[in-house]
Structure 1
């Protein structure tokens, strides 16, 4: 269920290949900083997607560059941040210089020119920690004079505009430092710093492009990075899932999505199966989706029960105060013996096929969507037992709202889905086959076109 939805005109090909959980997303620059630590990854994802969202909304180059430098200082707990560019004559010039409190500190500021020179010559990121005066002198006189404890610097290179290959690329470096005695920059800091620096390259390249093409290039590159971040959070089916066969299927309407699903092993060893849907598409919903998914993982893994986890997530989203954006979410908490608890925050109720009666039933109880009312306390809406062969299907509304070509009023619909689930579940198909077959049927019905994200999760008791 969506609120204030804005439909797009995006279409995809008929093949029902789901978006792959990006195990290889680490090869993408934006995903190098994913560590597996839920709390740390949540902060990293929120930071990077927030930067992407802000610079995508701004047309002013100076604002973009300043925003990236400020966020670089913030995430690394540094004291100063500089953007240094190389002029046509080969001399370096400070383009942006900022302090921790968000103030400009002047273009004549001193910094470690030796480290910047090394980064520019080798075109490789570099970080250094100073433990003695001798080490400071080895790194350069400026490091010693400024009493720097930690320095981190990454290269920036922007190719010339298309058709102007004879032009020199714009080169430079993004630089931060700190004098705090306990500060050391980590490899994770360096990876996230490098990801942020890519947006400077994007911003500088866009400045050199013609005004008519700047919008498309900017959005494409930002969306590519946002998509890499979001894909890095797509789950793998847990290996330890005694008694359950699980599968998820996902396809965004655009490069980034407001849908997500997840499998989270809670501290009490039960498995939480989650599906969520944020209104809209693009970077804004992707930011909320990534933040909500990371938060929920963190709450469940540190020992919060499902009810408390949803209540806390609702408070988080209400504090964001994103105009017109809400999250519907269904959580099914599974025990190995077949017992399950359903918590529904404004989402479509799941369909359940009973092997014993060979009937499909709907579970329609639910509370309000997340981010709607801050004072809402969520609790278990339904408790039930799934017996051997029973199948539970949860989905987002992109599935049932797929419409026939040329007829927007003829939808795939819940009733068609109920019949299809009954047909598939009555045969000994595994969860993956059922999910793929349902997705294939919906895409075939709409001739491969879908204006909304499509996500579904199948749970079968074994």
Structure 2
């Protein structure tokens, strides 16, 4: 019998054995507080199963360590006959599942129903009973170890496939055009945290260049698949559209037919070398950064609209532009570079601006390496990072 609980002791799911032994359906469990479903027996003052289990689960959340409980009497009310209670004996083991930051994100509540064993105890000697219980505990420990190993291998396989897909769909890491550029992609640390960040650089027929970055909501293989579809669609739209705003409008219409594309953010920029202007439009994405030759930093934030799929009806997206001088530097990035848990996003954006200004003499490749080194956490980020740097 296995159930998954949140740290607040709310059911997330349970396997068939748990449902069958507890006499509850999945609908009667999922989303409900554990002790609302299984309270202590009210007509028995000595009933303490819920109190003991609650103490164990809270201890696991606080210590982040596995807890094998002593044998518990925990009577269960009949779902068909309210007020009728069945005497039950349980042997529970509670195990934490940790997130990337070390906090408990789920609790594995594994239970062995030993009611029949207890009822038959009079037919066994103390030595026999001790041997049975010892063997049972050993078996449960070995099964938990095997489950953890299978989960680890499954997560590792998913991460490997997602990374291979992203690597195949993203353009080459070296741009070979006449202007110096650097691109970087850094996956999140952790097996399940591969995400859907992308970048693109497109030579346009009239001598302009289009640059884009985007971020699909979600993690894992499905996010990487959505990323590939949206990146290809935006790349085509940039080649066929009159400007970044129109390209994002086309992408937004296409995203409505792609499951999982809702709330994707993206920013598209067109660089015109003849007029020395940068034109841009953003669908809920963090603003590109323009580093001036004198070290001043300008954020391109005057044409920001909601993410893809945020509006029920099609609305034209805004577009803005600014001039540049030879030697200025354009930086596009995703939130993995600047966003940190329990920190305002403006702090991370300010940190980026300071780092870019401090390295304004570096070429794009050196600047890209410096930004990743200085801004990403030493142990790796919990979100993907895409970065494009173009010397204008």
Structure 1 position 215, deviation (Å): 4.6
Q: Could you tell me whether the CA contact under 8 Å between 1:353 and 1:359 is conserved in 2?
A: yes
Q: Does structure 1 residue 329 correspond to structure 2 residue 266?
A: yes
- Correspondence for 1:435 among 368, 382, 389: 368
Aligned equivalent of 2:175: 238
Aligned equivalent of 1:452: 383
Aligned equivalent of 2:357: 422
Task: Describe how 1:176-325 pairs up with structure 2 within 5 A.
Answer: 214-236=150-172, 237-241=174-178, 244-253=179-188, 254=190, 256-302=194-240, 305-322=243-260, 325=262
Aligned equivalent of 2:299: 362
- In the alignment, the residues of structure 1 paired with residue 386 and residue 195 of structure 2 have an alpha-carbon distance, to the nearest angstrom, of 10
Change (3 A) 1:318 1:270: same
How many pairs does the alignment contain? 241
Structure 1 position 222, deviation (Å): 4.1
- In the alignment, the residues of structure 2 paired with residue 294 and residue 410 of structure 1 have an alpha-carbon distance, to the nearest angstrom, of 32
CA offsets, 1:157-209, max 9 Å, x none?
xxxxxxxxxxxxxxxxxxxxxxxxxxxxxxxxxxxxxxxxxxxxxxxxxxxxx
Aligned equivalent of 2:62: none
CA offsets, 1:396-422, max 9 Å, x none?
11111246xxxx548861222211111
- 3-state SS, counterpart of residue 283 of structure 1: helix
- 3-state SS, counterpart of residue 306 of structure 2: coil
- 3-state SS, counterpart of residue 383 of structure 2: coil
Compute the RMSD of aligned alpha carbons. 2.7
Structure 1 position 300, deviation (Å): 3.0
Change (3 A) 1:422 1:267: same
- 3-state SS, counterpart of residue 235 of structure 1: coil
CA offsets, 1:259-305, max 9 Å, x none?
11111223434211111111222122112111101112233345664
Structure 1 position 374, deviation (Å): 4.9
Q: In structure 1, list runs of 5 or more residues that go unmatched.
A: 1-58, 60-209
TM-score, with length taken from structure 1: 0.47
For the pair shown, which has the larger CA radius of gyration, 1 or 2? 2
- In the alignment, the residues of structure 2 paired with residue 218 and residue 451 of structure 1 have an alpha-carbon distance, to the nearest angstrom, of 19
- In the alignment, the residues of structure 1 paired with residue 147 and residue 368 of structure 2 have an alpha-carbon distance, to the nearest angstrom, of 45
Change (3 A) 1:220 1:378: farther
Aligned equivalent of 2:313: 375
Q: Does structure 1 residue 342 correspond to structure 2 residue 280?
A: yes
Q: Could you tell me whether the CA contact under 8 Å between 1:345 and 1:367 is conserved in 2?
A: yes
- In the alignment, the residues of structure 2 paired with residue 457 and residue 431 of structure 1 have an alpha-carbon distance, to the nearest angstrom, of 9
TM-score, with length taken from structure 2: 0.55
CA offsets, 1:213-255, max 9 Å, x none?
55544443344233212201221243223xx321112111156
Q: Could you tell me whether the CA contact under 8 Å between 1:267 and 1:302 is conserved in 2?
A: no
User: Relative contact order, CA 8 A, sep 6+: which one is greater?
Assistant: 1
- In the alignment, the residues of structure 2 paired with residue 307 and residue 409 of structure 1 have an alpha-carbon distance, to the nearest angstrom, of 31
Change (3 A) 1:270 1:374: farther
CA offsets, 1:126-160, max 9 Å, x none?
xxxxxxxxxxxxxxxxxxxxxxxxxxxxxxxxxxx
- In the alignment, the residues of structure 2 paired with residue 224 and residue 420 of structure 1 have an alpha-carbon distance, to the nearest angstrom, of 32
Structure 1 position 328, deviation (Å): 0.8
Which stretch shows the higher mean deviation, 408-417 or 430-439? 408-417
Q: Could you tell me whether the CA contact under 8 Å between 1:318 and 1:372 is conserved in 2?
A: no
Aligned equivalent of 2:290: 352
Structure 1 position 342, deviation (Å): 0.7
